[in-house]
Structure 1
Amino acid sequence: MSDRWQEMTVFVRVAETGSLSRAARELNVSQPSVSRIVGALEARLGTTLLLRTTRSVSLTDAGAIYLERSRRLLAEMEEAEQATRGVDSLHGVIRIAMPVMYGTRAIIPALTPFLARHPDLKVDFVMSDLRQNLVTDGVDLAIRVNFGSLEDSTFGARKLALVERIVMAAPAYLSVRGTPATPADLAQHDCILQHGSFGRESWRFTHDKTVTSVEVQARIWVNSVPGVLAATVEGLGVSLGTLAMAGKELRTGKLLRLLESYQLEPAEVYAVFPAGPRPSAKVQAIVDHLAARL
């Protein structure tokens, strides 16, 4: 690898991980070597790319510009090499952002056989129900479970699946408050909402081609899907979920599905590519695999 490619590679991993030591471990070099390479790059460019403290590393404005261009160049170089070697030799590190519950119960199990076929590929899972800044967080691929318009519309994206949404509650809650027979009955129940699109206070159902919207009363607000699931299992109210999210609890009887003859608009699962509409070879391979599995 030429000195410039090495500088670019080291800088990108430091910027993406936010840590000199972590980048050093991933690249299998010493931390002083990483610091020296980044310092030499900044000296050659005549500008500061990274602000370093004892605990963290952050990008300057110049660093953010250099990161965007560097990631694009490295992706193109990898794509050229991968096309020569073939997809069976995927290697390197890929950083994937995903929601906690869907990532845990759908994405990671789906990726397990893929990773077994590519032992030289390393994955950094970034799991959060908050929407990350994919560029500044150095994400190669993001999985979005979306309801409504896709917020990351300026990035490249591919729809992977539709996820059925359901209404659910714990048997203990229903034994006290009764089981709703129609969507209108939900107005008399305590509901558990998640901040964001899944937490809308108006739930919209379709039955025999008739659309009904119900204004629900939130008793509990939660900012994560695992929190919604936990609160529902504990009998704190009725919530919206997906089969991917609550399948285990439904199978074991911890939760019961309600209003099965009424349909909610499904959620859409997207793969989003922050680097643009032409992802790297390893990102494309993972997306193709997920599209087939999901």
Structure 2
Amino acid sequence: MSDRWQEMVVFVRVAESGSLSRAARELKLSQPSISRIVGTLEARLGTTLLLRTTRSISLTEAGTLYLERAKHLLAEMEEAEQATRGVDSLHGVIRLAMPVLYGTRVIIPALATFLARHPDLRVEMIMSDARQNLITDGVDVAIRLGVGPLEDSTFGARRLALVERLVVAAPAYLSAHGAPTNPAELARHDCIVQHGLFGRESWRFTHNQTVTSLNVSARLWINSAPGILAAAVAGLGIALVTRVMAGEELRTGQLKHLLEPYRLDPAEVYAVFPAGPRPSAKVRAIVDHLGASLDVPD
């Protein structure tokens, strides 16, 4: 490996792992060697790429720019090698970010055949309902659910599925407060709203081609889908969920589907990859697999 390629590989691994020692273990180099290689790269470029403290490593603005370009170049090199060796030789690590409940109930079960097909691939899963910075977190591909335009529009993206959204509540809540018969009645109910995704305070319904948007009264704000689901099952209010998210609870009667004649816009499921429209062969492979598994909509 040339010195410049080694510098690039080492820097990307340090930036993605956030640790000199972890990068050293993964690359089978000593920690002083890792530190020296990064220092040599910074000296050659004449700028600081990483801010180091005793507890953490973070990227400078120059480091973020270099990381994006370096990952792109390394992906192209990997693609050239994979084209020579064939797709069955995919190897390395894919860092895959996903929402907690959708990842648990849909993405993870879909990975079994993919991993069996590619035994030399490893997947590192980052499961969080918070939106990660895909560059600084070293994410190769993120699964994102939302309604409306995607954020990070400069990234590559592929739509994987549409997910039905619905309004639900527990029998205990409905016994105490009654069930709304139209969206306007939600104003007098306690509603549970999720930060950051599609559970914002304004809920938009369509009925007989008439669109109604209203701001619900949020008594609870929760930053995770499992929390939203648990609060709804506990009878703490009315929640906006996806059918994937609450399917089991609806089947068992722990939650009731409300306002059935009124439709909410579906959530779109996307694979987002910061490498741009030409991701690495391994990222393309996992996105293609998920697209086939989740039945991509037209």
TM over 0.5: yes
Distance 1:131 1:210 in 2: 32
Residue 125 of structure 2 is aligned to residue 156 of structure 1: no
Q: What does residue 31 of structure 2 align with?
A: 31
Q: What does residue 89 of structure 1 align with?
A: 89
Distance 1:180 1:65 in 2: 51
Alpha-carbon spacing, 1:183–1:23, altered in 2? closer, same or farther (3 Å):
same
Residue 198 of structure 2 is aligned to residue 198 of structure 1: yes
Alpha-carbon spacing, 1:219–1:5, altered in 2? closer, same or farther (3 Å):
same
Q: Report the Cα offset of residue 79 of structure 1.
A: 0.7
Structure 2 counterparts to residues 161-172 of structure 1, below 5 A: 161-172=161-172
Identity of aligned residues (%): 77
Structure 2 counterparts to residues 175-254 of structure 1, below 5 A: 175-254=175-254
Mean Cα displacement is larger for which, 95-104 or 231-240? 95-104
Which 5+ residue runs of structure 1 have no aligned equivalent?
A: none
Q: What does residue 77 of structure 1 align with?
A: 77
Matched residues, number: 294
Which 5+ residue runs of structure 2 have no aligned equivalent?
A: none
Q: What does residue 113 of structure 2 align with?
A: 113
Q: What does residue 64 of structure 1 align with?
A: 64
Q: Report the Cα offset of residue 214 of structure 1.
A: 3.6
Q: What does residue 48 of structure 2 align with?
A: 48
Q: Report the Cα offset of residue 48 of structure 1.
A: 3.1
Q: What does residue 131 of structure 2 align with?
A: 131
Distance 2:104 2:138 in 1: 21
Alpha-carbon spacing, 1:244–1:24, altered in 2? closer, same or farther (3 Å):
farther
Distance 1:200 1:40 in 2: 48
Distance 1:44 1:152 in 2: 31
Distance 2:186 2:205 in 1: 12
Instruction: Render the CA deviation track for 1:89-147: whole Å, top value 9, x for unaligned.
Output: 11111212222222222222222321222121122222222222222222211111011
Distance 1:204 1:219 in 2: 19
Instruction: Render the CA deviation track for 1:134-167: whole Å, top value 9, x for unaligned.
Output: 2222221111101111111111111111110011
Structure 2 counterparts to residues 263-278 of structure 1, below 5 A: 263-278=263-278
Alpha-carbon spacing, 1:185–1:119, altered in 2? closer, same or farther (3 Å):
same
Distance 1:253 1:146 in 2: 27
Distance 1:156 1:184 in 2: 39
Mean Cα displacement is larger for which, 23-32 or 217-226? 23-32
Q: What does residue 144 of structure 2 align with?
A: 144
Q: Report the Cα offset of residue 176 of structure 1.
A: 1.3
Distance 2:104 2:22 in 1: 24
Distance 2:211 2:91 in 1: 49
Distance 2:263 2:91 in 1: 43
Q: Report the Cα offset of residue 191 of structure 1.
A: 0.6
Q: Report the Cα offset of residue 197 of structure 1.
A: 4.8
Q: Report the Cα offset of residue 175 of structure 1.
A: 1.6
Q: Report the Cα offset of residue 45 of structure 1.
A: 3.7
Instruction: Render the CA deviation track for 1:41-86: whole Å, top value 9, x for unaligned.
Output: 3344444322222221122333223212211110100111111111
Partner amino acid, structure 2, of 1:274: P
Distance 2:26 2:292 in 1: 30
Distance 1:28 1:258 in 2: 56
Partner amino acid, structure 2, of 1:207: H
Q: Report the Cα offset of residue 267 of structure 1.
A: 0.6
Distance 2:95 2:8 in 1: 17
Mean Cα displacement is larger for which, 60-69 or 24-33? 24-33
What SS class does the counterpart of residue 111 from structure 2 fall into? Answer: helix
Contact 2:130–2:196 (Cα < 8 Å) also in 1: no
Distance 2:61 2:150 in 1: 27
